[in-house]
C-alpha cells in the first residue's frame, strides 16, 4: 500500500546484521578473550582466565570445567541483552511517559486533533492510521514519539502549524519507523564496547553499523518531510521549522555524520528545494 519497500528492506538488513554481530561476534570474542593465555612481558606466567576460574573452583571443592564456565559467562552476556532489550524496548517508554506526566487529551483537544487529521487525510487516497496520542503539559511546542505513542505539547495542539507538523509525524506512524526505533533502542549503547578490554564485548554490532543507522534515520526524517510536502503542507512545515525549531537546534559531536536526525537548517533547505521543483501528481505516497 505504501511505497516504502526499499527502506523496509534496509531496516531489515540493518537489524539482522546488527544483532548477528552483537550476539554471534560478541560471544566469539568473549570466548576468545577468556580462553587466551595472557602474558606479562616476556614471562608466560598468566594462564587463560577460564583456567584460573576452574582452579579456584577446584580449590573450594567445586567440580568446574572450562566448557561449563564458558557457558555461564556466555549466559550472563546474552542475559544482559535480554534485560536491556526488555527495558529499552518495552518498559522504558512507559517510564518516560510517566516522567513527562503525559495525560489523555480533553474533548476539545481531541476535536482539534481529529480536525487536523481529517484535513490531512483529504489530501491522499491512502488509508492513514491515526496514532494513539497523549498530551504533555507546559509551554513547549513539540511533538515526539515515546514508544509507539505520540506525545504532543498542549500549546502545540492549538498552534497554527499543528497540521503540517502532524502530517510529518503521520509518515512515521504509517511506516516502519517506530518499530525501527524500538528495535534500535534494544542494542547495547556504543560506549559499552570498551568492555571488550575486560572480557565483555558488548555493542560490537552497534559500533560497526552505527554510521549506517544514523544515515537510515536521517533519510526517514527527510522522507517524512517529503510526505508532508506531497500533502500540501510543505510551506507550513518549512515556516514551523524556521520560526520554532531552528533556534533551539543544538550542534552535536561529529556533526551530521553522528546525528540521528538532520539539522533543522538541512531540512529547511531540502523542503525549499522540493517546493521549487516538485509538482504533486496524483495521491501522495509515503516514501
Q: By the 8 A CB rule, do 274 and 240 touch?
A: no
Instruction: Choose between 196 and 165: higher pLDDT.
Output: 165
pLDDT at 258: 73
Which residues are registered as beta bridge partners of 143? Answer: 152
Q: Tell me how far apart the alpha carbons of residues 191 and 204 are, in angstroms, rounded to a whole number.
A: 10
According to the per-residue pLDDT averaged within each range, which of 66-70, 165-169, 196-200 is highest? 165-169
The helix (H) or strand (E) run that includes residue 236 is helix 234-240
Instruction: Round to whole Å and give the CA distance between 219 and 9.
Output: 14
The mean pLDDT of the chain is 87
60 has a pLDDT exceeding 80: no
How sure is the predictor about 1, in pLDDT bands with cuts at 50, 70 and 90? very low
CA distance readout (Å), 207 to 34, 92, 115, 204: 22, 22, 44, 5
Query: Span 87-98, mean pLDDT?
Result: 94
**Could you give the 3-state DSSP secondary structure of residue 138?**
coil
pLDDT digits (tens, 9 = 90+) for 266-279: 999 999 999 988 75
Contacts of 90 (CB under 8 A, 6+ apart): none
The rounded distance, in Å, linking the Cα atoms of 20 and 121 is 40
**Main-chain phi, psi angles of 145, to 5 degrees:** -90, 125
Residue with cell 515515546: 146
Name residues whose C-beta falls within 8 Å of residue 178's C-beta, 6 or more positions apart in sequence. 145, 147, 148, 172
Least confidently predicted of 125-129, 184-188, 213-217, 240-244: 125-129
Higher pLDDT, 87 or 63: 87
Q: What is the edge-to-edge ordering of all strands in the sheet holding 149-153?
A: 133-136, 149-153, 143-146
Residues composing the chain: 287
For 51-71, what is the mean pLDDT?
Answer: 79
103 by DSSP, 3-state: which?
Answer: strand
User: What confidence tier does 84 reach under pLDDT thresholds 50, 70, 90?
Assistant: very high
pLDDT score recorded for residue 4: 60
Tell me the chain's radius of gyration from C-alpha atoms: 24
CB of 224 within 8 A of CB of 168? Answer: yes
- What number is the average pLDDT over the span 226-232? 92
Of 64, 66, 60, 77, give the one whose Cα is nearest residue 37.
Answer: 66
Q: Count other Cβ atoms within 10 Å, centred on residue 260.
A: 16
Q: Where are the beta strands (DSSP E) in the chain?
A: 38-40, 43-46, 133-136, 143-146, 149-153
pLDDT value, residue 47: 67
Q: What pLDDT score does 113 carry? A: 96
Q: Model confidence over 159-195: pLDDT tens digits?
A: 999 999 999 999 999 988 999 999 999 999 999 999 9
- Average of pLDDT values for 132-145? 94
Q: Is the pLDDT of residue 38 over 70?
A: no
What is the CA 186 to chain-centroid distance, rounded?
A: 9
Residue 281 pLDDT greater than 60, yes or no: no
Q: What is the pLDDT of residue 94?
A: 95
Q: What is the pLDDT of residue 283?
A: 47
pLDDT bucket at 5, cuts 50 / 70 / 90: low
Mean pLDDT lowest among 36-45, 81-90, 101-110, 163-172 = 36-45
Q: What is the DSSP letter of 202?
A: T
Amino acid at each position: 500500500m505504501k511505497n516504502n519497500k526499499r527502506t523496509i528492506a534496509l531496516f531489515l538488513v540493518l537489524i539482522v546484521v546488527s544483532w548477528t554481530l552483537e550476539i554471534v561476534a560478541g560471544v566469539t570474542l568473549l570466548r576468545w578473550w577468556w580462553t587466551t593465555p595472557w602474558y606479562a612481558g616476556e614471562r608466560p606466567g598468566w594462564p587463560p582466565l577460564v583456567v584460573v576460574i576452574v582452579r579456584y573452583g577446584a580449590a573450594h571443592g567445586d567440580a568446574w570445567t572450562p566448557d561449563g564456565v564458558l557457558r555461564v559467562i556466555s549466559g550472563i552476556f546474552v542475559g544482559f541483552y535480554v534485560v536491556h532489550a526488555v527495558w529499552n524496548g518495552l518498559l522504558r517508554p512507559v517510564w518516560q511517559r510517566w516522567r513527562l506526566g503525559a495525560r489523555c487529551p480533553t474533548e476539545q483537544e481531541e476535536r482539534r486533533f481529529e480536525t487536523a487529521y481529517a484535513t490531512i487525510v483529504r489530501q491522499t487516497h491512502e488509508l492513514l492510521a491515526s496514532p494513539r496520542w497523549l498530551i504533555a503539559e507546559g509551554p513547549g511546542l513539540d511533538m515526539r514519539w515515546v514508544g509507539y505513542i505520540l506525545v504532543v505539547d498542549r500549546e502545540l495542539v492549538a498552534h497554527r502549524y499543528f497540521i503540517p507538523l502532524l502530517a510529518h509525524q503521520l509518515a512515521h506512524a504509517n511506516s516502519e519507523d517506530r518499530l525501527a526505533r524500538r528495535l534500535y533502542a534494544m542494542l547495547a549503547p556504543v560506549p559499552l564496547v570498551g568492555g571488550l578490554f575486560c572480557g565483555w564485548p558488548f555493542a560490537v554490532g552497534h559500533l560497526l553499523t552505527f554510521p549506517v543507522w544514523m544515515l537510515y534515520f536521517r533519510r526517514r526524517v527527510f522522507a517524512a518531510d517529503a510526505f508532508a510536502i506531497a500533502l500540501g503542507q510543505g510551506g507550513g512545515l518549512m515556516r514551523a521549522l524556521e520560526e520554532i525549531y531552528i533556534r533551539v537546534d543544538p550542534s552535536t559531536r561529529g556533526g551530521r555524520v553522528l546525528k540521528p536526525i538532520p539539522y533543522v537548517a538541512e531540512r529547511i533547505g531540502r523542503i525549499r528545494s522540493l517546493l521549487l521543483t516538485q509538482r504533486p501528481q496524483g495521491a501522495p505516497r509515503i516514501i
